[in-house]
Amino acid sequence: MSLSNSGLHLPDLPENFDLSDVRTEIDSIDKQILDLFVQRMHAAEKVAAVKKRSGAPIFQPEREQAILERVEREGGEFGGGARTLMATLIDISCTYQQMLLYGDDGKLRKKFMTAGKIIKGSKIACQGTVGAYSHLAAKQFFGDDVEPMFFARFQDVFEAVTEEYADFGVLPLENTTAGAVNDVYDLLTRHGFYIVGETDVDINHCLLAPKGATLDSIKEVYAHPQALAQCARYIQLHGFNTNEYSNNAVAAKNVARWNDSTKAAIASSVAGKQFDLDILEEGIQDIDGNQTRFIIISKHMVIRDGADKISLTFTLPHRTGSLYRVLSRFAANGMNISKIESRPLKGQNFQYRFYLDFNGNVHDERVCALICSLSTEMSYFKFLGNY
């Protein structure tokens, strides 16, 4: 589409007009915008003082919507950009007001101040069995002496923590090859637990089979869906039939029990030794450097000294720019987002719950103010942890 057909046009400029001329003009305009921005933030301080006296909420969606519609209308051909600019100014102002008003009063802020700093307790719950990658993650995080309790399903681990059979649960959240473990994301939200730690486990998948089996004799492989996805090329190359299992180590345990030379499991070498299986081939994952991120969950908030990652979950209205507005507030405060994940909301077509990780500590006032501000503005918001 040409500029003329789109209704856009370039200005006619004198022959001797160059970039230095227009840059001088832009620098002057930018200076005025900066001065006005500072004035606007000082005005926001006065707004905060009035709201404190009157008890009015910081976030006033009806007024905000009216302002944005007016700005877009008056912006003419630049209406969309003007709306985005004003929305960003409003968001920055709301976060600043949150910082001014709720030094010690906010409920979420109080939770941050009273959170534990030390991970206490020795009862650990894992999904799977001895030799599972979750077992390795538990040892890696809590120490080699830990002897976790094992459960068949992810749901069972959450229930063990709920009923206080266990102090903490160890669960996989995402893999560098196969992506997120969606069941764990959903359970984390449903139970309202906190992430209090994490550890990355190197994944070195092995093809495990009973004594006497060979690569040529294997017809069926058993493993967790994530492991099957991580070894997809290898499986396709050998023409194996795949069978999903709740856990790799449990699959290995059953392959040993069946003692059938046509059946093999994909699991760790530790599982192979545990169940006396031969390693027919090692390192069969599609990508070298494959890792799984395991999280440590708890019913209670724990924010240890030096915690530098924060996880949140929230929903947004199905409106143009709603996600951009949230993300821009992190950028405006100099905060690095390291991950964003979305999950569909059941029964609500094309509506999503977002999971977001960013670098920071809730005892940093800017970070705390932003989280508290978002928590008051969103219809659904959950702080998942700082670890």
Give the catalytic positions in this structure: 292, 294
The residues near 312 (Cβ < 8 Å, ≥ 6 apart) are 355, 356, 358, 371, 374, 381, 382, 383, 384
Question: Alpha-carbon distance 287 to 238, whole Å?
Answer: 17
Alpha carbons 319 and 378: distance in angstroms, whole number? 13
H helix or E strand, kind and range, residue 136: helix 133-142
Picking from 66, 247, 77, 78, the residue whose alpha carbon sits closest to that of residue 171 is 247
Output the CA–CA distances (angstroms, integers) from residue 284 to 251, 268, 292, 293, 347, in the order listed.
Answer: 16, 11, 15, 19, 39
Question: Exposed/middle/buried for 134, CB within 10 Å: 0-12, 13-18, 19+?
Answer: buried
Q: What H or E segment, with its residue span, contains residue 262?
A: none
Task: Give 201's strand partners.
Answer: 292
List, as own/partner pairs, every contact residues 160-167 make where C-beta atoms lie below 8 angstroms and the sequence separation is at least 24, other chains included: 160/125, 161/125, 161/191, 161/193, 161/297, 161/298, 161/299, 162/191, 162/299, 164/299, 165/123, 165/125, 166/123, 166/124, 166/125, 167/120, 167/121, 167/122, 167/123, 167/124, 167/298
Query: What residue type is 92 in one-letter code?
Result: I
* Residue showing tokens 């944005």: 68
Tell me if 132 sits within 8 A of 271, measured CB to CB: yes
